[in-house]
Amino acid sequence: MGDQSSERPVLPDPTTPKPSLPPGMVLGPDGKPCKICTAFRNWRPTASGTASSSKKSTAAMMAAFASGTGFQPPNSKPENATLPPHCPPDVEALGRATWSFLHAAAAYYPARPTPHQRANMLNLIHAMPVLYPCTHCAADFGDKIKEHPPDVSNRERLSRWFCERHNEVNGKLGKEMFDCAKVDERWKDGPPDGSCD
Ligand SMILES: Cc1cc2nc3c(=O)[nH]c(=O)nc-3n(C[C@H](O)[C@H](O)[C@H](O)COP(=O)(O)OP(=O)(O)OC[C@H]3O[C@@H](n4cnc5c(N)ncnc54)[C@H](O)[C@@H]3O)c2cc1C
């Protein structure tokens, strides 16, 4: 795989506060608020709105009046708002789904992978910084891959490698570290109490 650094978009630093940006909202490589990079609870449609968003808010207002639930303008959302199941993924839903896939793919990776399987796993991992839709997540993951080249030599090592990368993201987001001794329990075997059987 060649060096793709020259193809990488110049990203705004998501940690730098932007005066006009509501807290938690993240800019994309185009300098506009990035919906897939932002948690649903933090997403605030622009006050001015586009033609389509203004149509949508009128429809939402009519629906709220009709159902008697009261109307909240689209840019006011409770802090604990959760993503409705019919909505496109936010940064968290996308992350959960992606980690589920990656950890499960590692859990079922062979103990003695063929060269073909190794090459494809490497391709999958190296595709992430290029294709993962949350651009700042993708860029950080790309940096981590360079610091810690993937170990695709067997199932156990690959599972640990993903666990460690996931823990780096957990640390960045201020979440608890996961005990990597428990990856098989979490992603393959289920707990000893049989509650997942
Ligand atoms: C490559 C990648 C990069 C990301 N970068 C960012 C980012 O920069 N900013 C951002 O806001 N979000 C990022 N995310 C999303 C973020 O990691 C979470 O998925 C999201 O915040 C939802 O978190 P969660 O607490 O629901 O559980 P998740 O972190 O999604 O975890 C899902 C489940 O995996 C298990 N688990 C947790 N840690 C581990 C581990 N180390 N090993 C094995 N299993 C584990 C737990 O059982 C947990 O419930 C990224 C996701 C991916 C896939």
Residues 33 and 115 in one domain: no
Position 39 in a domain: yes
Whether 75 is in a domain gets the answer yes
User: Within 10 A of 115 (CB to CB), how many other CB atoms are there?
Assistant: 7
Cα-to-centroid distance, 94 and ligand 1 (Å): 9
Domain around 106: 91-189
Percent of the chain exceeding pLDDT 70 equals: 74
Residues with CB under 6 A from ligand 1: 91-92, 95-96, 98-99, 103, 128, 136-137, 140-141, 163, 166-167, 169-170, 173, 175, 178, 183, 186
DSSP code string of 129-150: HHH-SSHHHHHHHHHHHHHS--
Are 29 and 65 found together in one domain?
yes
Residue 128 alpha carbon, nearest atom of ligand 1: 1
Same domain, 66 and 106: no
Question: Quick one: DSSP state of residue 42?
Answer: G
Chain segment 119-151, per-residue pLDDT in tens: 999 999 999 999 999 999 999 999 999 999 999
Helix, strand or coil, per DSSP, at residue 56: helix
Where does the pLDDT of residue 49 fall: very low under 50, low under 70, confident under 90, or very high at 90 and above? Answer: very low
Shared domain for 25 and 106, answered yes or no, is no
Does one domain contain both 61 and 110? Answer: no
Query: Is 69 a domain residue?
Result: yes
Residue 99 is predicted with a pLDDT of 98
Mean pLDDT of the region 27-38: 92
Lowest mean per-residue pLDDT among 74-88, 106-120, 123-137: 74-88
d(CA 101, ligand 1 centre) in Å: 11
Please identify, among 69, 88, 107, the residue that sits at the C-terminal boundary of a domain.
88
| Residue nearest (by alpha carbon) to ligand 1 atom 5 | 137
Mean pLDDT of the chain: 84
Residues 81 and 49 in one domain: yes
The helix (H) or strand (E) run that includes residue 92 is helix 91-107
Give the end of a domain, one of 88, 118, 146.
88
Residues near 75 by beta carbon (within 8 Å), at least 6 away in sequence = 22, 44, 45, 46, 47
Region 23-32: mean pLDDT is 90
Residue 5 lies in a domain: no
Asked whether the predicted pLDDT for residue 115 surpasses 60, the reply is yes
Distance CA 32, CA 26 (A): 8
pLDDT of residue 21: 77
> What pLDDT, on a 0 to 100 scale, did the predictor assign at position 168?
98
pLDDT at 23: 84
Q: Are residues 102 and 82 in the same domain?
A: no
Domain of residue 96, CATH code: 1.20.120.310
34 and 95, same structural domain? no
Arithmetic mean of pLDDT, 64-87: 70
Q: Are residues 73 and 113 in the same domain?
A: no
**Residue 33, SS3?**
strand
Q: Give distance in angstroms: CA of 48 to centre of ligand 1.
A: 33
Domain boundary among 88, 113, 147: 88
